[in-house]
Structures are given as structure tokens and as C-alpha cells.
A and B are shown apart, each in its own frame.
Chain A
Amino acid sequence: METKKAQTTMVLMFLVLIIFGMLFLFLLSFADTFNREDYVEQYVSDLLLSLVRTDTGYSDEFCKSVGNAMASVFMHPSYFCGTENCEDIAISRVGYYLDRFDLLKQNFEYFLRVEPQTGVFRDENSIPIEFEIGDEAVVQADEKFTAKQIISQGMEIFEATLYIAYRD
């Protein structure tokens, strides 16, 4: 009789513990906090958009904005705006501007690639033109953030892709 009573008490205690455990899990489900990853996704997307729209300081239509200069790397590879050619303008502006953003500079590595969507562009030696800046290893990183932006110039369309990944 006494053994049965002790067993009943133990079972009751166990049930009480289960109820408290469930209550804990129920309360935990309300813990919906700010998602930092969403913020970084938005950040990298806005960064690429702003970068492409930024003026280079030249009024020439082939290199007026950073986006124009990127497109001209493919379309007019030997063209000069002032004393700089389009590729030098694009590389110097991208590097300078991305360096101004502390969040990116302190926590992330980046890789920027621009690809033509309407065919392959070749230089005078018939070598396909590529435009890439940064550390290509970022593309292979497990945890990375990606933003894409379309650049159109004349009849041609290019896609700029910015990858960022946390520094090791």
C-alpha cells in the first residue's frame, strides 16, 4: 500500500516537471528577436545598388557612373575618360567606396563580379573580358550574402554580383 503511494507521488512529481517543461518551451516560442541576417542581406543589396549608381566624377557617358564604367570595361575596353581608362576607373572607385563602409571593412571579405548577359566580349587578342574585384574564395564560403544588380548600357545588359562573407 505504502509502496503504491510512493509510486503515485513520484508519478505526480514527474507530471508536474513535464508540465513546467512544456510551459518553458511554450514561453520560449515567443522569443522572436531581431534577425541580423536579414539586415545584412538588405545591407549588401543596398550597397551594390548605391555603388552602381554613384558618379565617378567624369561627365563622359561611358564612365559617368560606376555602373557605366563597369559596362564600358566590356564594351569599350581601350576607351579613356580623361587620363584613366574605364577599367581603372571602375576598380579604383569600387575599392575606395567599399572601404568607406565600416561594417563591410571590419567584418567581411567581398568579391564583385560583372558578367555580360548578351554574349561574350573579347579584347584585341580575342581573350574573353572579365571583370572581378576582391577575394574569389568568398564565393565558396559556407555562410555568404549575395546581391545582384542589372546594369544596362545601350543595347547591352550586364549583371553585377556582390558576394560578402564573414572574415575568418
Chain B
Amino acid sequence: MPSRNRPVKARGAKTLSGQANIMEYVLMTFFIFIIVVALIIFLSAWQVSQMEITSLGSFSERAIENLDSLKSTMYLLKGASMSVTSMLDDSKLTALMHMDNLCDNIEKLFGSNFYFEVRAFEYSESAESSDKECTLVDYLDCNHWSFCRDEDRPATSYVMPVNIYRKTLNDGRTDIGMLRVGVYGD
């Protein structure tokens, strides 16, 4: 009897060991699958957030690049040379503001989807400062020039202090002001 039972016992142990091996492989495959899926999800999410950061960074970089270009372009600076940077000429700003197809022309020089504005601060005894858009008529009695601005479109904008040279009847005057450049982000 015992000699009959021995092979049965040995076959049962072998079957169990085989099942354990299969289970080990199944579990291992399952864990590896979970790890791979988790890594794919993690990397995808990271990639998406990275793209968002890069995109925001690129808006900022473009705004800063355009700020640098605008405060040193001869189209806006006082005089014909670029020797005095950050000194914008109010007559050039006013003339530019009333140019035909302004945004198309600016786009050719500085790229699309951006705006810029210049605001001069004139000293007054009171702490308040008023804001008046410049037109060809009230060209001396104004302090704000805006180019290709669309209030409804969200934009990333940066500001840099500049001087604005104002031509007066007798001489000229140098005001302090700010140049703002915004890049539309929609």
C-alpha cells in the first residue's frame, strides 16, 4: 500500500509547485504591469504640466524680448540713432498710433499676438495722476499710447520703466513712464 501511495504524493507536490510557479509569474506580471501603467500616467502628467510651464515661460520670454526690442528700436526712440536707449519720442508714438494697418505692420517687425502701451507720468503736487489717451489733436496734453490692445483677450504682460521725450512749444521735456508689453495667451 505504501508503495502505491508514494507516486501519488510526489505528483501532488509537483502540481502544487507548478501552480505556485504560475501564480508567481502571474503576480509578477501583474505588479510589473501596474508599475508600467503608473509610470506612464506619471510621465504623461508631468509632460503635460511641463508643457504648460514651458508655454507660460515662452509667453513671458516673448514679452521680455519684445520689451527689449521696443525700448531700443529706432522707430520709437528719440533721434535717428539708437544711442539713447529707453528714451521714447512722443511724436513717433503718436504718429505710429494713427498709422494705417498698424497691427499688421507691427506684426511684421515684432511678431504676432502681442500689444504694447506707453504711459507717461507727469509730476503734479497732488498724489493722483490722470490718464489721457493721445490723439493727433491733443498730442501734448496726453500721456497714454496704446497699440493693438484688445481688453477682452487674456495676456501675459511685463512692464519696464522708460523715458518719454515730449516736444513742447519752446524746447523739450523728458518724462518718466512705463512701457508695457503683453503677449496674448489664447
Contacts and interface: CB of A to CB of B under 8 A. Distances in A.
A43 B161 contact: yes
Contact of B123 (A2, A16, A96): A96
Q: Report the interface size class on chain A.
A: 35 or more
A34 B61 contact: yes
Contacts of B175: 54-55
A13 B32 contact: yes
B64 A101 contact: no
Most chain B beta carbons < 10 A, residue from A31, A100, A103: A100
B159 A103 contact: yes
Interface string A1-32: 01000100100010011001001100100111
Given A46-B162, A100-B121, A31 B176 contact: no
Contacts of B50: 27, 30-31
Given A27-B46, A101-B178, A49 B86 contact: yes
A34 B57 contact: yes
A50 B163 contact: yes
Nearest to A56: B123
Contacts of B159: 43, 101-103
Interface string A36-77: 000100110011011101111101000001000000000000
A145 to B, nearest CB: 13
A130 to B, nearest CB: 24
Given A47-B161, A97-B123, A13 B54 contact: no
Contacts of B54: 31, 33
Given A13-B32, A93-B123, A97-B123, A51 B60 contact: no
Q: How large is the interface on B (under 10, 10 to 19, 20 to 34, 35 or more residues)?
A: 35 or more
B70 interface: no
Contacts of B21: 2
B160 interface: yes
A88 interface: no
B48 to A, nearest CB: 12
Interface in B45-67: 46-47, 50, 53-54, 56-58, 60-61, 64
28 contacts: A2-B21, A16-B35, A17-B35, A24-B43, A24-B46, A31-B53, A31-B54, A33-B54, A33-B57, A34-B58, A34-B64, A39-B60, A43-B160, A46-B86, A46-B160, A50-B86, A50-B161, A51-B161, A51-B176, A53-B87, A54-B174, A54-B176, A55-B174, A57-B173, A59-B171, A96-B127, A100-B121, A100-B129
Given A9-B28, A100-B129, 14 more contacts: A13-B31, A27-B46, A31-B53, A43-B159, A46-B162, A49-B86, A49-B161, A50-B161, A54-B175, A54-B176, A55-B173, A56-B123, A100-B178, A102-B159
Interface of A: 2, 6, 9, 13, 16-17, 20, 23-24, 27, 30-34, 39, 42-43, 46-47, 49-51, 53-57, 59, 65, 92-93, 96-97, 99-103
Return the 7 tightest CB-CB contacts between A and B, nearest first. Answer: A34-B60, A33-B57, A54-B176, A34-B57, A47-B161, A50-B161, A100-B121
